[in-house]
Structure 1
Amino acid sequence: MTPRHVIDLNQLSKEQWMGLLKLAHDIKKHPSRYDQACRGRILATLFFEPSTRTQMSFQTAMLRLGGRIIGFDNPENSSVSKGESLKDTVRVVSGYADLIAMRHPMSGAPKAASLYSCVPIINAGDGGHLHPTQTLTDLFTLYEETGRLDHLCIGCCGDLMYGRTVHSLIKAMSRFEGNSFVLISTPQLGVPQYIKDRLEEKNIPYQEVNTLEEAIPMLDVLYMTRIQQERFASEEEYMSQKGVYVLDGEKLKLAKSSLKILHPLPRVDEITYEVDDDPRAVYFEQTEYGMYARMALMMTLMEQHGERCLEPVPASTHDVHCTNPACITSREHYLPHLFEQKGNQLVCRFCDEPVQE
């Protein structure tokens, strides 16, 4: 059985992933078999920051399953603007809906929401932390486009520091045999240390390089990301990183003919429009694959966790506070202090960051 809430895709086993991918494939192939699968069910989309693809993908997925949707895409249009806590928002909305898809700018917010929800919560992106349904989308894209999820050399390029899609993808693909990673970024936007720690713990090969030209010949998959202006403290910091990595036709001459180019979108200037016509570019197909992947996930959660159930909130595990200012616990102070010991570090269960002394 799948977990009640999907906060991190790594909560699921590889066997459960493959079950979802096979279901998504069948939905794609035989959509009419599933057009009433969620009849009478309601999805609430709670988006505390802007989104186009993810929000519309969830909404379209539910509508194609015969269900209905409620929610908001701007917290200023909700009681959040009046100071309502995340706990109260989720407790109320979970009484109206059968499932909640939630995006939030702070790390760990969907985990926090799951403590107070009567219905399953799906993390639709939490700050620079995780984006599990994008990762499920990426897995399904590779499953459909390459026919395998193992023995791939995967290049991740651009914003690897704040790119939650990259963090989730690396964690997911590291569970399949024979995969390796090439991390392409500036020193300022390299992947967080906890991601590299996980790769090293599992003896998974990875290398960090500074140029796309150096990396692209060895890749089976190139995962491009935009430099996210909204994650920078100032315009000056953003401009110093913008436009450093641009994929164009000239660089593609160095790549394998079998390369698959993915991008979570939106793009800014990191992929030129000429690349769109290259058969190796599958990022627009990727958005459609995401709808089928989310259909499979929502169907599975509602079939297995159809009844409303409010579980007891866990007690604090330690008498310390998370020191990460981007963690939801820095705003919602009623949350229990949940930590786990990893080696000689105490790690927050909401944002996965170690406590800084």
Structure 2
Amino acid sequence: MSVKQFDRKDLDYIFAVAKEMQGMVRRIGTFDLLKGKILANLFYEPSTRTSASFTSAMERLGGSVIPINEVKYSSVSKGESLPDTIRSLECYADVIVLRHPEVGSAAIAAKYARKPVINAGDGVGEHPTQALLDLFTIYQEMGQIDGLTVTMLGDLKHGRTVHSLARLLTLFDVKINYVSPEVLSMPEEVINEIKAKNIPQQAYQKLDSCLGESDVLYVTRVQKERFPDEASYEAVKGSYVIGTDTLAKAKEEMIVMHPLPRVNEIAMEVDDDPRAAYFRQMEYGLYIRMALLALVLGKV
């Protein structure tokens, strides 16, 4: 439901299982750990990576998937409530993955469900499985998390990925930087949570102010769909663009991450830089979601 439910011991266990999944996929591709199990992918918002990632995770574990990616064609369009949809789907599935535009929707679903529910994003609230794969990416790429400086760049107001990652990072000895236009700054609620955990954090409007000290640069797109009108979006959409000139000022061992999709915030030529970790980040997400499915279904 939320990254707040995890401690470091939990993360160590999830990461260990994810590394086992990575090894098994690379050796044999698919296996029958979840044979006979069914996942319902219930997405009220558009999704490419998260939806495909959970589908791939379930099928590589030998299970099956009921894909519901176009909710407008389902009974929801007839006015069915979320609890009724969840209770209906669990008659057919063993686990439900839910993405919904309203904050708190996953908690409501879990309240009424008898089967496991995994939060795949609730509005501008949280995206806990993304935060887990992000943290796993940092661990795999950098070899550690303690002692790092993580800089989050872009739309920090609407970016549920950075909300969840910031909260998860409080379990480690890190420093967090925020770089955004003032109108897209990290919500005060998240800032206060980080402060309560005594994690150093600093806000900037220019990336050059903290790029040189950054070990991880986490880039987010400006989310057009979250803006009330076109003019508000146009005013900030091109605030930051990461190019090869940007990386020339960065540490050699730094990594660049992005939850994707990108629009124009990272230039294509950056893809060839070994520090560009965002596609490797997507692959790590497969192993994390395989681990979570196996864990919630009691197979690990």
TM over 0.5: yes
Shift of 1:277: 0.4
Give the Cα separation in 1 of the matches to 2:156 and 2:253: 24
Give the Cα separation in 1 of the matches to 2:285 and 2:30: 16
Q: Could you say which residue in structure 2 is the equivalent of 1:99?
A: 95
Give the Cα separation in 1 of the matches to 2:247 and 2:271: 12
Give the Cα separation in 1 of the matches to 2:133 and 2:277: 12
Letter in 2 for 1:63: E
CA offset digits 1:40-91 (Å, max 9, x no partner): 0000000001000000000000000000000311111110000000011001
Letter in 1 for 2:220: T
Alignment check: 8 A CA contact 1:154 1:223 kept: yes
Moved over 4 A (4+): none
Letter in 2 for 1:218: E
Bigger Rg, which one: 1
Confirm whether residue 294 of structure 1 aligns to residue 281 of structure 2: no
Q: Could you say which residue in structure 2 is the equivalent of 1:121?
A: 117
Map of 1:12-31 to 2, 5 A cutoff? 12-31=6-25
Give the Cα separation in 1 of the matches to 2:192 and 2:113: 32
Shift of 1:293: 0.4
The 3-state SS of whatever aligns with 1:181 is strand
Letter in 2 for 1:106: E
Alignment check: 8 A CA contact 2:57 2:290 kept: yes
Letter in 1 for 2:108: A
The 3-state SS of whatever aligns with 2:150 is strand
Shift of 1:9: 2.0
Give the Cα separation in 1 of the matches to 2:162 and 2:240: 16
Map of 1:85-164 to 2, 5 A cutoff? 85-164=81-160
Shift of 1:139: 1.3
Give the Cα separation in 2 of the matches to 1:87 and 1:280: 44
Shift of 1:208: 0.4
Give the Cα separation in 1 of the matches to 2:138 and 2:90: 34
Alignment check: 8 A CA contact 1:158 1:225 kept: yes
Aligned length: 298
Same amino acid, percent of matched pairs: 44
Shift of 1:204: 1.1
CA offset digits 1:132-168 (Å, max 9, x no partner): 0101111111121111121110000000001000000
Alignment check: 8 A CA contact 1:27 1:33 kept: no
Q: Could you say which residue in structure 2 is the equivalent of 1:11?
A: 5
TM-score between the two structures when normalised by the length of structure 2: 0.97
Give the Cα separation in 1 of the matches to 2:169 and 2:53: 23
Q: Could you say which residue in structure 2 is the equivalent of 1:355?
A: none
Unaligned runs of 5+ in 1: 1-6, 306-357
Alignment check: 8 A CA contact 2:34 2:299 kept: no
Shift of 1:212: 1.4
TM-score between the two structures when normalised by the length of structure 1: 0.82
Q: Cα RMSD (Å) of the superposition?
A: 1.2
Alignment check: 8 A CA contact 2:33 2:299 kept: no
Shift of 1:12: 2.0
Confirm whether residue 236 of structure 1 aligns to residue 209 of structure 2: no
The 3-state SS of whatever aligns with 1:30 is helix
Q: Could you say which residue in structure 2 is the equivalent of 1:61?
A: 57
